[in-house]
Structure 1
Amino acid sequence: MILKSRDKPILAMLEWIRVRLMTRLYTKREGIQKYAGKLCPSIQDRLEKLKVESKAFSDTLAGSFLYEVGSQYERHVVDLVKKTCSCRSWDLNGIPCKHAITAIYTNIETPEDYTHSCYFKETYMEIYKKVLPPMPGQSEWAETGQPAPLAPHIYKPPGRPPKQRKKASDEPRNPYKASRQNRPVRCGKCKKEGHNSRGCKAGITGETPWQRRQRLQREKAVSN
């Protein structure tokens, strides 16, 4: 997210990040308030797909809120009290799996009630309820009476400032990107390796264009 700002000076970069966060908090907060569901939209879409997949399973009541859910190819144990399934998908992400949904519908309940509370709309609104306060400009800063700080002398090296992040010495490189060091240099004129077209010696006689024109005229006159 900060690729657009990391080549800026430190104060400009921090100001860009602050405005970005302030805008993002407002967008998230206003977007979820218009949503009428109980779960977050992405989690609700995921749950709807699991509901369709659960139609291929049948369940057998083994005890109080304890079911054996299976199909022609697999079988699992679902405990609605502990909110667990032997496939461990419900245990890991807090979203009822397709086996648990089959047991929940048999128990005449809804899968949304068995989803973890971290996926609720109320939890999402609680996360983004804080407002990042806007800041006034430099013209409205309070006067302190102290002398203004002097900017440090910055040495500007020649060339264009780098934008790429400096990688650590032990950081793995991209194996799919060939470096210029490992790539052979091929000349565009003679098509040979080891030099480029700028340093190619092929076809160079050491004469100026005027001398070459005079030589061609003499050769043409002799041939005639």
Structure 2
Amino acid sequence: MHKFCQAYVSTDYKSDNVTNNISETFNSYIIQARSKPIVDMLEEIRSMLMQRMFVKKDIMLTCTDEICPNIRKKLEKFKEDNRYCMVTPSENMKFEIQCLDKVHVVNQSCSCWSWDLCRIPCEHVISCIAWMKDDLDKYVSDFYKRKTYLKIYVHFMEPLREKEAWPNVEGPPVLPPIVKKMSGRPKKLRRRELNEEIIQRTNYSRQDFKITCTLCFSNVIIEGGAHLGHNQ
């Protein structure tokens, strides 16, 4: 509960993500490469990441906004929700925000907990900033700004030649891991969580059955789910 519930997430990490979507996305990203031998797999992943890092950095270099694009979209969405909020100021920069049927308190933090977790101003904080006629970007964490994003991509991956041009190194040869064959048919699908929807697939019956063609009115025999032909 204290690890996967937003109510107990630390505010030091500036993230409200309590799922494993990042690992699932990366797993889908390398799904074709991971079926290859170990060296070929690593080389394909390295090449994919080298191209991805270049593209991501190039996009941010052409961006003129100081806030990252996805964060700017969130701010615009919160601005739209801001029209339902009414601000009542108090002393010491405290505010009471009436938002439809809910009331929130803003004072260096917000009682909705959204701003505390991500440090991206929610609609309640945006209402207070608009009332003070202050700059909204000043209240966004530096983690979501262009200068911080570019620091991530300061380092890059060096291009390599084909495997035949690699230098020879001393040491024991790299052998594949010892695979212990488990009993039963190997699983191809990942283990699903209890709350995930499972699509039930209906198998054909293995018993023989007969259907009638609506065009020629002849009988069709189906044996074990396989079509055998017409039976006049």
Query: Do both proteins adopt the same fold according to a TM-score greater than 0.5, normalized to the shorter chain?
Result: yes
Cα pair distance change 1:31/1:143, threshold 3 Å: same
Residue 85 of structure 1 aligns to a residue in which SS?
coil
Counterpart position of 2:199: 176
Counterpart position of 1:29: 57
How many corresponding residue pairs?
A: 186
Over residues 30-84 of structure 1, what are the superposed CA-to-partner deviations in whole Å (9 max), with x where a residue is unaligned?
A: 11011011111011011012123213322122112211121453321111xx2x1
After superposition, the CA RMSD in angstroms is 3.6
Listed as ranges, the matches of 1:24-173 within 5 Å are 24-71=52-99, 73-79=101-107, 82=108, 84-142=109-167, 166-167=188-189
Q: Which has the higher strand share?
A: 2
Q: CA deviation at 1:132?
A: 0.7
Cα pair distance change 1:20/1:119, threshold 3 Å: same
Distance 2:192 2:60 in 1: 43
Distance 2:192 2:102 in 1: 46
Query: Please, which moves more after superposition, 27-36 or 116-125?
Result: 116-125
Within the candidate set 176, 189, 195, 2:224 is matched to 195
Q: TM-score, normalised by structure 2?
A: 0.65
Extract unaligned runs of 5+ from structure 1. Answer: 153-163, 205-224
Residue 88 of structure 2 aligns to a residue in which SS?
strand
Residue 89 of structure 2 aligns to a residue in which SS?
strand
Distance 2:193 2:83 in 1: 48
Extract unaligned runs of 5+ from structure 2. Answer: 1-28, 177-185, 212-218
Over residues 85-108 of structure 1, what are the superposed CA-to-partner deviations in whole Å (9 max), with x where a residue is unaligned?
A: 112221233211111111112222
Cα pair distance change 1:68/1:109, threshold 3 Å: same
2:57/2:153 contact within 8 Å kept:
yes
Bigger Rg, structure 1 or 2: 1
1:187/1:197 contact within 8 Å kept:
no
Percent sequence identity is: 28
Cα pair distance change 1:116/1:138, threshold 3 Å: same
Q: CA deviation at 1:197?
A: 4.5
Cα pair distance change 1:169/1:106, threshold 3 Å: closer
Cα pair distance change 1:6/1:187, threshold 3 Å: farther
Q: TM-score, normalised by structure 1?
A: 0.67
Residue 33 of structure 2 aligns to a residue in which SS?
coil
1:188/1:197 contact within 8 Å kept:
no
